[in-house]
Each structure stands twice: as structure tokens, then as C-alpha cells.
Structure 1
């Protein structure tokens, strides 16, 4: 199982704040997880409609789309953060 957290507009679009998922073996990185999640429901598809606007952390470390994911990981998706 992978624990997935959604923040801000990703939470609004997906309709959930967190879930535990068991993606198929071919899902090996963040990009693959995003594609797989996007196919799960219209809300997920809306959340991941523009992957370039989604930031990710795996186990609380910021990472890119090629970062590996595996069972036991916590993956957080959130919008780009802006500072002031």
C-alpha cells in the first residue's frame, strides 16, 4: 500500500484528502503513479490534468516525477508553493 495525500486544489478536485492505494507493479515512479491515479475517477483526472502544475514529496522529501515509489511510501501531491 502507498499512502497518498492531496493538498489544496488537488484535494478539492479529487474529492479526498488522503487514500491508501495498491497500484500495479508497473507503477514504479511518481509520474506512473500520477497517470494511474488520474485513471481512477473523474476527480482524480481533474486533479492531475496538468502534471506540470503538481509538486510531489515522497516520504516528506521533495522530488521529481522520476522518483521511485514503492509499497510503504507516503506520497504527497500539492500545488506549486509561492513565497512573498
Structure 2
């Protein structure tokens, strides 16, 4: 699956996307796998309260079933105005 990183997460990880193979059951499980990849990944996912997720371009909860997505995106909370 393709993992996309936006904003500060992209800066901490060091690249905007990567392809991974995972058996994660939820986005939260996937985050745990990704955080173990490098110090940058760990820093990107250090604050789970400031993390949002979209699976195949649909916003989802971190504890929702993951299924077999083609794309998972992680980003900080959005603001509007």
C-alpha cells in the first residue's frame, strides 16, 4: 500500500510517500509499524492526539478496520477559517 505523509509528518519522516507491505488491522496498528522504521517516523507519530488519517481518500478513525487499502494518508488536524 502507498503511505502518504503531509505537513509536519512529511518533514519528520523525510519523504512524502512510501510503499509498504503490512498486515496491520487498523490505522493505529499501521502507525506502530511505521513508527518503528526510523527515528524520523517515531517523531512523526509521537503525538497520536495530533494525527488524522484517511484510507483511500476517506477520513477514518485510527481504530477503524483497515481492510486492504491502496492508500493511507497521515496528516495533522486541519484548520479552517
TM bin, normalised by shorter chain, reads over 0.9
Q: Distance in 2 between matches of 1:17 and 1:70?
A: 23
Residue 12 of structure 2: aligned partner: 13
| Aligned-residue RMSD, C-alpha | 1.1
Change (3 A) 1:72 1:55: closer
Q: Deviations over 1:19-48 (max 9, x none)?
A: 00012x3x2110000011001100000000
Residue 48 of structure 1: aligned partner: 45
Q: Distance in 1 between matches of 2:57 and 2:4?
A: 11
Residue 22 of structure 1: aligned partner: 21
Moved over 4 A (4+): none
Gaps of 5+ in 1: none
Q: 2:57 aligned with 1:63, yes or no?
A: no
Gaps of 5+ in 2: none
Moved more, 37-46 or 71-80: 71-80
Question: Number of paired residues?
Answer: 81
1:70 Cα deviation from its structure 2 partner: 3.9
Q: Deviations over 1:24-75 (max 9, x none)?
A: x3x2110000011001100000000011101000000000011222444200
Q: Distance in 2 between matches of 1:22 and 1:58?
A: 15
